């Protein structure tokens, strides 16, 4: 718990720092992109080289813009807008995107036992988190394997997973058959900017951002991994129980969490 508190404080400091930078940087990039776009139009008839260079510059600027968007989300400059979200429907809606992201060699399986688990969460941030987890899984699988996303309902006791409070949660497990993590890597995955990926490929912000989002949403995150055995990341998010559903809720829960 002490470690997690330190982790949260560290993330807050990094978040405040990057928030200001990201905002200014994004404004500058908007100017660069606008100027290049105009230049590209004017140069259109002067041979392919000038155009190519400008296109490269635009690609670079676009990548930088994407990074600052991640930094902004990470620094929580964007407020969360929670709503009732049906987990299975949201995941189904991401099927094409996931297939394209993962490539032909990786199969995607999903299961929610036919239940319409509802979460109280920011839909956009949850989609971002799941996409990030899928990209991490892809990178760990090197083109071959299975990504499985399983959804369920669970009743947790106080601190049963991390800092969670007692209550009803929806668990979303994202499992891969990739290389897994050593205990040394696992101990550091939530640290901002910690990455084992080559420069340009990893930012080290994925899992720390997900950690921030999940905790801010009143949820928790668990990771089960071992070298050569693959990785399973489980998000526990507060279950949304609508009117007339209260009695049913407790009857279905009670599985042990995957830890
Ligand atoms: P990034 O993906 O940019 O490196 P993350 O914060 O998402 O940043 O991940 C940090 C590190 O955690 C990764 O560099 C990798 O070493 C490890 N990691 C994350 N997800 C997985 C996974 N599914 N399988 C194996 N290692 C992983």
The residue ranges of the chain whose pLDDT is under 70 are: 1-2, 9-24, 27-28, 45-48, 70, 72-78, 200, 244-259
Decide if the complex's ipTM is over 0.85. yes
List 223's β-bridge partners, or say none.
233
CB-based contacts of 258, cutoff 8 Å, min separation 6: 171, 173, 222, 224, 232, 234
Which ligand 1 atom is the nearest neighbour of the CA of 137?
23
Please spell the DSSP secondary structure of 64-125, one letter per residue: HHHHHHHHHHHTT-SPP-EEEEEHHHHHHHTHHHHHHHH-TTEEEEEE-TT---EEEEEHHH
DSSP state of 165: P
pLDDT of residue 77: 56
For residue 132, which atom of ligand 1 is closest to its CA? 7
> Per 3-state DSSP, what percentage of the chain is helix, strand, and coil (rounded to 5)?
50, 20, 30
Q: CA 19 to CA 191: how far, in whole Å?
A: 17
Per-residue pLDDT tens over the stretch 222-243: 999 999 999 999 999 999 988 7
- Whether ligand 1 lies within 6 angstroms of the CB of 197 is answered as yes
Cβ(129) – ligand 1 distance below 6 Å: no
The protein residue with its alpha carbon nearest to ligand 1, atom 12, reads: 189
Distance 200 CA to ligand 1 centre (A): 14
What pLDDT, on a 0 to 100 scale, did the predictor assign at position 75? 63
| Sign of the CA dihedral running 128, 193, 203, 109 | negative
From 10, 136, 176, mutation site for ligand 1 pocket: most ligand atoms within 8 A of C-beta: 136
Ligand 1: which residue has its CA nearest to atom 7? 206
Q: Answer positive or negative: Cα dihedral of 190, 196, 200, 202.
A: negative
């Amino acid at each position: 718990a002490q470690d997690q508190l330190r982790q949260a404080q560290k993330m807050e400091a990094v978040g405040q720092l990057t928030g200001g930078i990201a905002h200014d940087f994004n404004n500058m990039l908007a100017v660069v992109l606008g100027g290049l776009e105009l230049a590209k139009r004017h140069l259109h008839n002067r041979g392919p080289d000038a155009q190519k260079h400008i296109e490269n510059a635009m690609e670079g600027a676009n990548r930088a813009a994407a990074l600052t968007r991640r930094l902004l989300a990470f620094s929580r400059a964007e407020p969360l807008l929670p709503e009732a979200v049906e987990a299975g429907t949201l995941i189904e809606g991401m099927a094409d995107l996931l297939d394209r992201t993962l490539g032909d060699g990786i199969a995607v399986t999903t299961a929610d036992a036919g239940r319409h688990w509802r979460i109280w969460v920011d839909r956009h941030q949850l989609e971002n988190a799941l996409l990030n987890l899928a990209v991490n899984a892809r990178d760990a699988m090197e083109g071959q394997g299975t990504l499985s996303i399983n959804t369920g309902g669970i009743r947790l006791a106080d601190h049963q997973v991390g800092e969670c409070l007692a209550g009803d949660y929806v668990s979303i497990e994202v499992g891969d058959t990739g290389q897994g993590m050593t205990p040394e890597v696992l101990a550091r995955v939530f640290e901002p900017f910690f990455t084992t990926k080559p420069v340009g490929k990893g930012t080290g912000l994925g899992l720390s951002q997900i950690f921030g989002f999940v905790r801010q949403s009143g949820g928790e995150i668990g990771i089960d991994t071992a070298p050569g055995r693959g990785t399973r990341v489980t998000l526990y998010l507060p279950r949304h129980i609508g009117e007339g559903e209260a009695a049913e809720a407790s009857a279905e829960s009670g599985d042990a969490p995957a830890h």
